[in-house]
Amino acid sequence: MKCKKLYGIMLGAFLLSGHVFAASKASVNIIPKPNQVVVGEGYFVFSNGMTISAPAGSRSKALLVQKLQAAAGIGLKDVAGSKASVELSIRKAPELGTEGYRLLVTKKEIKLDAATENGLYYGVQSLLQLLPPQIESGQKVEANWQVPCVSISDTPRFSYRGIMLDCSRHFSTVDEIKKMLDAFALYKINKFHWHLTDDQGWRIEIKRYPKLTQIGSVRVEEGKPYGGFYTQEQAKEIIQYATDRNIEVIPEIEMPGHGMAALAAYPEYSCTGGPFKQPRITWGVEDDVFCAGNDATYTFLQNILDEVCTLFPSKYVHVGGDECPKVRWQNCPKCQSVMKANGLKTEMELQSYFTKRMEKYLESKGKRLFGWDEILEGGIAPSATIMSWRGEQGGIEAANAGHDVVMTPGGYVYLDHYQGDMLCEKVKIGGLSTLQNVYGYDPIPKAIADDKAFHVLGLQGNMWQEYMFEPNQIEFQIFPRVTAIAEVGWTKKENKNLDSFIQRIDNQQIRWDYHSLNYYIPMPEGNMNYIQFTDKVTLPFTTNRPVKVVYTLDGSDPTATSAVYSEPLTVDRSVTLKLRSVLPQGTLSPVRAIELTKTVPYKGLAKVDGLNKGMKMRYVKDGDYTSVNQLEAVAQWKDTIVTSINDFFKFKKKEQSGGAAILDGYIYVEKDGDYTLHCLADQFYLNGKLLIVNDKMKKNAKSDITVPLTAGYFPIKIVFLNRQYQGVVSEWMDARPTVRPVSNTNRDLPTVVYY
């Protein structure tokens, strides 16, 4: 009580002495934006030998001391009590909850108080963000080690502010995870949802079932083994590391679907009994799931959960529950007999029965069940907490029915989506979630009744890692969007402001350079990556946040001092245009290269007699062809007529690779002009000229090309290999060609073809 009064007096003095806030005095770049900030005049300047007091063993104090020592070479001396220049104290302050803090900086002293050590930790994170960004340097650097005079009183809007990492699809090392946890902590992220098992890999040691990691953690892709897992000791190391940073680790063990890695090791817990060659090597969803009609399956999974419950201190265990195909259950005598015995009318109800058994088991261990929104179908388990990912509807239904929910709707917070134009980024699963989209998300949809809104615990960004072929792409996907998730989760709606948020990112980016994070920088967007033109071409570019763009026309990679883009570029010769964005501190984005080729227009034929709709297709059903050259060895082609390249798949089982096709036909364009050609086959020829090559990943239009065409008919040839590359099967791609005027961005509108 006494201490609270002291704070009140100090804050009063701070305001009365003319230190009334004015945003222009010093910019406060803290993310997430604190809920109450008053900026005063002047600065507190740190210097060597200043004193600090804090509760015994405070990790918040340790963090501040370590950062000042490492980056500034400033040592703080321990003293007891309120005479210290920097005083951290824990007080009774129910209004601050378990995470809130108050920070008062005057020219003379810094006072930080909270009701918990966690609150102090967030106060220190805010204080570090008031210091120059160089404070994140691991080595001594020059800077003005001062903090603007401020008074902050801050508590979070939501108690759940999470990030999920999918270490099943691609594995992150312990050090890679620690590096990310360090950076999450800067933004007061407090939950790490660890997706540890899936069809493509089992990543956590379970001592009772060693084959889970011996067999389930390794898949052989394109002839090479890929794998990794965490020993229980390593998991403990991560949990401790996260706990030290106020981050709770929530493990996910997927069931009853997404279990192929486990079933490859223990096929007896599937409906068919297997055998299964190995964990799934294709992304997507496996039909073989855990058998819900076999008591031994429940025992197996409960034994696994026993070890998981002991290892992870969180009160939550996530059991997945998403995307569980029901086809095996429909044909399984054991599953059908459990349905009959329990009066379950549908396989959805069987999933509900399965989840409720797991819920009871977890309750017996003192834990609560978390699940994806599919666990609502067929009847929700009474104490389940829902993660709403297929939009918001699951979250709305669950909250209105009195269940806790965490909002993770794919359209807003899926971190595997593109952040800008797909032509400017490495291949991703698809989708678009710009930083601005994420920032605009409100986790409490209007359709949740006011008196049920408290069931929304918060939000989470999901980093699905199928397309994270290089570890640093995970960081690229998460930063900067994690800062938007943090601010949505922490800052009250009325205190959010997009323009201010975007400005504050500049300061954070300098910090990320010190953390060696590979973060997304807005790219020069516009135009295709391959452009053919007749006379000259004018190319406008934009960026989705204000940022300087530089370019070269001599094939070299642009540097910070290259020519600055200020207006659309006109080019009249064949060159490679390279563009890059440059941040204020000089950090450069990846290079975007555009191949510009001067040519004569491709001439259309005025007339081709007797055309029908469709294409001629030569094909072979079998044989593994990974490059077009291998087709020379095909001894016997079959001939047919198809209306679409996709008709090839009528010869194959679902997702089955093998075989190839060569298709011939014509397309027609009505008017002379510049057209963009799109085709996700291996090769696309027009007038006998090879214009599109997709020799690795056939996905996402990176190879689209703009060409000049005169009106008329054009012979086209498409070479198509039914192959798998890096987890992607040809069947998923719509390989139909598109020819569209350059101004039309809809590449999904297929063009009519003739033969």
For the annotated catalytic residues, the residue numbers are 198, 258, 323
Between residues 252 and 421, which has the closer beta carbon with respect to ligand ACM?
252
Burial class (CB in 10 A: 0-12, 13-18, 19+), 739: buried
E runs forming strands in 451-547:
456-463, 530-533, 537-539
Kindly give the pairing relationship between strand 405-407 and strand 385-388.
parallel
Q: How far is the CB of 344 from Zn ion (least distance, A)?
A: 13
Beta partners for residue 93, in sequence order: none
E runs forming strands in 572-670:
575-582, 592-598, 615-620, 638-642, 660-669
Kindly write out the interface string for residues 233-272 of this chain, putting x where it contacts Zn ion by CB under 5 A and - elsewhere: --------------------------------------x-
Kindly write out the interface string for residues 264-303 of this chain, putting x where it contacts ligand ACM by CB under 6 A and - elsewhere: ----------------------------------------
322 is in the binding site of which of Zn ion, ligand ACM, none (Cβ under 5 to 8 A by kind)?
Answer: ligand ACM
Q: How far is the CB of 283 from Zn ion (least distance, A)?
A: 25
Instruction: Give the tokens for residue 745.
Output: 């961005």
Between residues 323 and 363, which has the closer beta carbon with respect to ligand ACM?
323
d(CA 247, CA 162): 9
Q: How far is the CB of 164 from ligand ACM (least distance, A)?
A: 9
Scan residues 328-357 and list those touching Zn ion (CB under 5 A).
332, 334-335
Handedness of CA 62, 67, 68, 73 (dihedral sign): positive
335 is in the binding site of which of ligand ACM, Zn ion, none (Cβ under 5 to 8 A by kind)?
Answer: Zn ion
d(CA 468, CA 664): 36
Between residues 254 and 421, which has the closer beta carbon with respect to Zn ion?
254
d(CA 436, CA 452): 28
Q: How far is the CB of 301 from Zn ion (least distance, A)?
A: 14
Kindly write out the interface string for residues 464-503 of this chain, putting x where it contacts Zn ion by CB under 5 A and - elsewhere: ----------------------------------------
Beta partners for residue 195, in sequence order: 166, 252
Beta partners for residue 720, in sequence order: 661
d(CA 279, CA 70): 45
Q: How far is the CB of 258 from ligand ACM (least distance, A)?
A: 8
332 is in the binding site of which of Zn ion, ligand ACM, none (Cβ under 5 to 8 A by kind)?
Answer: Zn ion
Instruction: Give the tokens for residue 658.
Output: 């093998």
Q: How far is the CB of 372 from ligand ACM (least distance, A)?
A: 5
323 is in the binding site of which of Zn ion, ligand ACM, none (Cβ under 5 to 8 A by kind)?
Answer: ligand ACM
Site stretch for Zn ion (CB under 5 A), options 23-31, 289-297, 303-311, 420-428: 289-297
User: What is the helix (H) or strand (E) element at residue 150, kind and residue range?
Assistant: strand 146-154
The single residue listed with the structure tokens 């404070």 is 135
Q: How far is the CB of 432 from Zn ion (least distance, A)?
A: 39
291 is in the binding site of which of ligand ACM, Zn ion, none (Cβ under 5 to 8 A by kind)?
Answer: Zn ion
d(CA 459, CA 104): 30
276 is in the binding site of which of Zn ion, ligand ACM, none (Cβ under 5 to 8 A by kind)?
Answer: none
Among 454, 456, 482, which Cα is nearest to 160's? 456
667 is in the binding site of which of Zn ion, ligand ACM, none (Cβ under 5 to 8 A by kind)?
Answer: none
Q: How far is the CB of 162 from ligand ACM (least distance, A)?
A: 13
Instruction: Give the tokens for residue 474.
Output: 């995970």
Q: Is residue 323 close enough to count as binding ligand ACM by CB under 6 A?
A: yes
Q: Binding residues for Zn ion, how many (CB under 5 A)?
A: 6
How far CA 502 is from CA of 137, 236, 335, 420, 480, in Å, comes to: 23, 37, 53, 15, 10
E runs forming strands in 4-109:
36-45, 51-53, 77-78, 86-90, 101-105
Q: Which residue is nearest to ligand ACM (CB)?
A: 322
Q: Is residue 274 close enough to count as binding Zn ion by CB under 5 A?
A: no
Helix, coil or strand: residue 59: helix
The single residue listed with the structure tokens 């079998």 is 622
Scan residues 290-319 and list those touching Zn ion (CB under 5 A).
291, 293
Between residues 48 and 337, which has the closer beta carbon with respect to Zn ion?
337
293 is in the binding site of which of ligand ACM, Zn ion, none (Cβ under 5 to 8 A by kind)?
Answer: Zn ion
d(CA 397, CA 295): 31
Q: How many CB atoms lie within 10 A of CB 96?
A: 21
Q: How many CB atoms lie within 10 A of CB 738?
A: 21
Q: How far is the CB of 169 from ligand ACM (least distance, A)?
A: 11
Between residues 286 and 525, which has the closer beta carbon with respect to ligand ACM?
286
Binder among 182, 322, 377, 664 for ligand ACM (CB under 6 A): 322
Q: Is residue 72 close enough to count as binding Zn ion by CB under 5 A?
A: no
Check: CB of residue 317 under 8 Å from CB of residue 309: yes
Instruction: Give the tokens for residue 299.
Output: 């025992």
Instruction: Give the tokens for residue 673.
Output: 């002009």
Scan residues 352-411 and list those touching ligand ACM (CB under 6 A).
372, 389
489 is in the binding site of which of Zn ion, ligand ACM, none (Cβ under 5 to 8 A by kind)?
Answer: none
Between residues 323 and 377, which has the closer beta carbon with respect to ligand ACM?
323
Judged by the rule CB under 6 A, the positions of this chain that interact with ligand ACM are 322-323, 372, 389
Judged by the rule CB under 5 A, the positions of this chain that interact with Zn ion are 271, 291, 293, 332, 334-335
